[in-house]
A and B are shown apart, each in its own frame.
Chain A
Amino acid sequence: MEGWAGIDVGSRTTKAVLLLEDGSWFSHVVLTGADPQGAAEKCFKVVLDKAGLDQNVVLEVVATGYGRRRVPFAHRQYTEITCHAKGAAFFFRDIQTVIDMGGQDAKVISVDGAGVVVDFVMNDKCAAGTGRFLEVMAQVLELSLEEMAEEALRAKEAASISSMCTVFAESEVISLIAEGVPRDKICWGLHLAIAKRVAAMVRRLPQGKNVAFTGGVAKNRAMRKALEQILGVKLLVPEDPQVVGALGAALLARDGTRCK
């Protein structure tokens, strides 16, 4: 059995997908840490082990993510924008928009029916609307990311969070805690504030009804709810949204080999 691999070296996590010729696929996620190359190698090895296959069966490897150039065994590199579009289109037909929220940035991608990127926007230089922003806020609230999402989902109303600068928002959250504002209200307010920011990016591109949500942050149910509320659409979320970029990379590896 032969296959193709996609390695997505993100700022927080590294993901690997091994796509086999029968259409089945295996994935694995590790923390990137300070050694993106080591993380990519480790992740690749684990995913091969999961499939019970040897590296020799892999016809081509495509790397993506911010550390895409740190994968020495990759044959080609693509940006995570192209890979998320490709990966999302694998799961859902006729998507027009992909929202990818990762550890260090957020992207909104406009795609055609085949998952080819038509246009895209990225968040600007600050961390607002990214996984890192949520992590910092969870730390301030002394919660895990999962607990923060659960608190947010329980809330009946939202606290007003006006600042999207991570540092200013941190001070704002500390002030709200000091004022005795319930934690669930703060959590929901944070999710809504980010969703508003990302929704503004979505509206900069042509509006589509079929919107996919990918990236590590898409695992957060509260973020999905907040985005759906602001955008007024039901988001299409794959079973494991975190590995969509790596899957897209593996699909591009497969397409590349078939073209040769």
Chain B
Amino acid sequence: MAIKGIFLTLLRRPIFWKLIRPLLRLYVSKERNKPFTIWVDFLAETMESLWRRSKPIIWINSFFPVEMIYSLGGQPFLPELFPAVVAYFDWTRGPLLRGSEKTSTDLCSFYRCALGLLEYGVIPKPDLIVTSSQICDGTKAFYDALSYVLGVPHVFIDVPHADGEKAKVYLRKQLLEFLETYQERFGGSFNPLPLFNAQRAGNLMWEIAELRKAVPTPFPGTEGMSYVAGMAFWANGTKKHLKFLKALKEKIKAKVDRSQGYLPKERFRVLWLHHIRPYYPNPIFEYLHSRGVAIAYEEVNYPWWPRGRFENWMEYVIEKMISNPWHGPIQRRAKLVEELIEGYKVHGVIHFCHWGCRQSTGGAGIIGEFVKKKGIPYLLLPGDGVDPDNYSPGQTLTRLEAFVEVMESKWKGGQV
């Protein structure tokens, strides 16, 4: 217990993160994965900044444009993303139990875990919460409750489903009100550079998405769903994200130039739907890879917003929020799924459905029908992103194995 206490105390000290940062960098650089090293360095740098508390700490949800917070001079924190990092170390059981003491066990495990981590004191309390209606259904209720408990204001941005001029006016008004609230509360000047950096990042993400269409699959979607998505949600707008994307692009391009896949022998390429995957240790991807199944692309990294440069940063933010394919009519997502199936030449689609997450399960039936009509095998895979106790290895593997068997029958043993 004493060791645990010391460890938890250490995690709250900025000096701990400052000292450990070069060591972590050195340790992960052994993997010779430059983008991953940048991600780890970003995390350590962010934790140091959070615990130094020299900037206002702003809790945001995943689809709120993080670049706006950097432009305002705030330090963003994503309670929806951080539990995935904790799950990677298989440390979510304790926080999940602790979080369940405060709320219903029906609440999404990412939120419960974040609540538990807050109770443990390993994540800093916010100075302000700002979230958008994209894309989790539980977002508003959870952050409203948290706002009440912590005595911290919660600004909620209601993104309209329509994308016409009226919708843009409605969204612009809310974003301007948020800027006003922020500056009244914390002062500081507005630096548009992170918003322009984010636009450059968007263009790089497009280039990477194009490179990843190569056959055989040059980059594992499993990594796409972890640190690549982590950087996109948390670091977008920073110079570090640009550096990260350039390194990632180089790494993928080198593979494409050599026509080298990430698996020794690729038999099938699949598309992974949903923004998350199970992050705790599990045999799902090891099994798929052992059967020659490559995760060719993952929905989460699709850069949906328009390419190019917006002179007016507000227009960029509005376009980005309003064109989100996971928000609004299901046809938007179906169109995206179609584009990804064709673009990445996949043999199958795995639709992960996180327990407690109504966002993905809600449209699963319609998306499933849509995929099957295109003659592509589709697997609905229920599970949990961060709760290892909500995961049945036997049942999950049976589903995956049967899905591979279906692909083998459909595609006559596999093809590249």
Contacts and interface: CB of A to CB of B under 8 A. Distances in A.
B157 to A, nearest CB: 34
B125 interface: no
A66 B394 contact: yes
A203 to B, nearest CB: 11
B398 interface: yes
B406 A80 contact: no
Contacts of B401: 78-79
Interface residues of A, number: 17
A124 B382 CA distance: 8
A122 B365 CA distance: 14
A122 B403 CA distance: 12
Given A116-B409, A117-B409, A119-B377, A81 B382 contact: no
A125 interface: yes
Given A79-B401, A204-B365, A122 B406 contact: no
Nearest to A123: B395
B395 A125 contact: yes
A117 B365 contact: no
Nearest to B391: A125
Interface SS of B by simple majority: helix
B231 to A, nearest CB: 33
A82 B402 contact: yes
B398 A122 contact: yes
A81 B395 CA distance: 12
A119 B406 contact: yes
A124 B372 CA distance: 21
A78 B401 CA distance: 8
Contacts of A120: 402, 406
Given A117-B406, A119-B372, A81 B398 contact: yes
A120 B406 CA distance: 9
A140 interface: no
B398 A66 contact: yes
Contact of B382 (A80, A105, A125): A125
A118 interface: yes
Interface in A30-75: 66
A81 B402 contact: yes
Interface in B356-400: 365, 372, 377-378, 380, 382, 390, 392, 394-395, 398-399
A80 B395 CA distance: 11
Contacts of B409: 116-117
B236 to A, nearest CB: 35
Contacts of A119: 372, 377-378, 406
Given A117-B405, A204-B365, A80 B392 contact: no
A79 B402 contact: yes
Interface string A86-128: 0000000000000000000100000000001111111011000
B398 A82 contact: no
Contacts of B395: 105, 122, 125
Contacts of A82: 402, 405
What size tier do the contact residues of chain B reach? Answer: 10 to 19
A100 to B, nearest CB: 11
A70 to B, nearest CB: 12
A167 B372 CA distance: 36
A80 B372 contact: no
Contacts of A105: 395, 398
Nearest to B372: A119
A41 to B, nearest CB: 21
B140 to A, nearest CB: 27
A199 to B, nearest CB: 16
A105 B399 CA distance: 12
Contacts of B399: 122
A117 B382 contact: no
Nearest to A109: B402
Interface string B162-183: 0000000000000000000000
Contacts of B405: 78-79, 81-82, 117
A182 B378 CA distance: 45
Interface of A: 66, 78-82, 105, 116-122, 124-125, 204
Interface of B: 365, 372, 377-378, 380, 382, 390, 392, 394-395, 398-399, 401-402, 405-406, 409
Interface pairs A-B: 4 shortest CB-CB: A81-B402, A79-B402, A79-B401, A116-B409
23 contacts: A66-B398, A78-B401, A79-B398, A79-B401, A79-B402, A79-B405, A81-B398, A81-B402, A81-B405, A105-B395, A105-B398, A116-B409, A117-B402, A117-B409, A118-B406, A119-B372, A119-B377, A119-B378, A120-B402, A122-B395, A122-B399, A125-B382, A125-B392
Given A105-B395, A116-B409, 19 more contacts: A66-B394, A78-B405, A79-B401, A79-B402, A81-B398, A81-B402, A81-B405, A82-B405, A105-B398, A117-B402, A117-B405, A117-B406, A118-B406, A119-B372, A121-B380, A122-B399, A124-B382, A125-B382, A204-B365
